[in-house]
Structure 1
Amino acid sequence: MKLFSNTISTLENGLNYSSLKQKVISQNIANEATPGYKAKDVSFKETLQTTVNQSLAANRTNNRHFDFKVSESSNQGIVTRKNVSFNENGNSVDIDNEMADLATNQIYYNALIDRMSGKFSSLQNVIRGGK
């Protein structure tokens, strides 16, 4: 029997994704004037796949079955936007797009924090006996 639902770990994974996206957007903004810099983005699909792989536990009963391996890359989910150039110096950072992504990510992060706070408040209420 699980004491807590998977909600807290799911919210934690969402916060990790949002934190990684914040770092990537910050790198893009910092390199806005760097010649030849290619903007990066965080792929939700790859991040989701990594999370699913880490949470799956499987036993091979036959050597013909697929291995369930978790790769240990620190840059999982980060993709470079190639073949895109907004400036004459080969830079692909669109500062307006990055600022919009930054605002969207901040709203997403704050929503996750509010939900996490609500979960902890509920747990605290249960521990106190509803008082």
Structure 2
Amino acid sequence: MSLFGGTIHSLEKGLQYSTLKNKAIAQNIANVDTPNYKAKDVSFKNILNETQTTIFSANRTNVRHYNFEITNRNSGVMSYEIFKYRNDGNGVDMDAEQAKLAENTIYYNALVDRINGKLNTLNTVIKGGR
């Protein structure tokens, strides 16, 4: 039995997703003037699929057989290879990146507020309601 249940773990995963997305957006903004730079984005669907990774492992019928397993892992970060926003091959739209950054910041702050609420509730229970 977990002390916090699955809620804190889910919120933690949400924070990890938001942090990874923030890094991708910051990298895009930093490379706005780099020729042939392809914009990157983080897909929630890819992150979710990564947590549900399928592992293939071999059935060993003899001790002399090799033990191996295959995992399907990716970072969840994808780049837009075919998208070119400007003539120099750069794929970064600064206005769109700033909008994504604002949206991601609001999402991150909401998660932090929710975790604080959970921990404050736990603190109140520990103190006996005082």
Using the size of structure 1 for normalisation, the TM-score is 0.83
Give the Cα–Cα distance (whole angstroms) in 1 for the partners of residues 4 and 33 of structure 2. 47
* Deviation digits for residues 14-35 of structure 1 (CA, Å, limit 9, x no counterpart): 0000000000000000000000
The residue type equivalent to 2:26 in the other structure is S
Offset of residue 8 of structure 1 = 0.3
Q: Which residue of 1 is the match for residue 44 of structure 2?
A: 44
Determine if contact 1:43/1:79 at 8 Å carries over to the other structure: yes
Structure having the higher Rg? 2
Give aligned-pair identity as a percent: 50
Query: Once the 2 structures are TM-superposed, how far is the Cα of residue 5 of structure 1 from its aligned partner?
Result: 0.9
Deviation for aligned residue 1:71: 4.7
* CA displacement 1:60-119 (0-9 Å, x = unmatched): 8x95xxxx864565xx10001121111110000000000000000000000000000000
Aligned counterparts of 2:43 and 2:72: Cα–Cα separation in 1: 16
Native 8 Å contact 2:50 2:73 kept in 1:
no
The alpha carbon displacement at 1:43 in A equals 1.1
Counterpart of 1:110 in structure 2 is: 109
- Partner in structure 2 of residue 8 of structure 1: 8
- Indicate conservation of the 8 Å contact 1:50/1:70, yes or no: no
Instruction: Map Cα deviations across residues 31-72 of structure 1 (whole Å, 9 max, x no partner).
Output: 00000000000011110112233xx9x9x8x95xxxx86456
Residues 1:121 and 2:120 aligned together: yes
- Structure 2 Cα separation of the partners of residues 2 and 84 of structure 1: 45
Q: CA RMSD in A?
A: 2.3
Q: Which residue does the alignment assign to 1:88? A: 87
Normalized per residue, the structure richer in strand is 2
Tell me the residue number matched to 1:34: 34
TM-score (norm 2): 0.84
Q: How many residues align?
A: 121
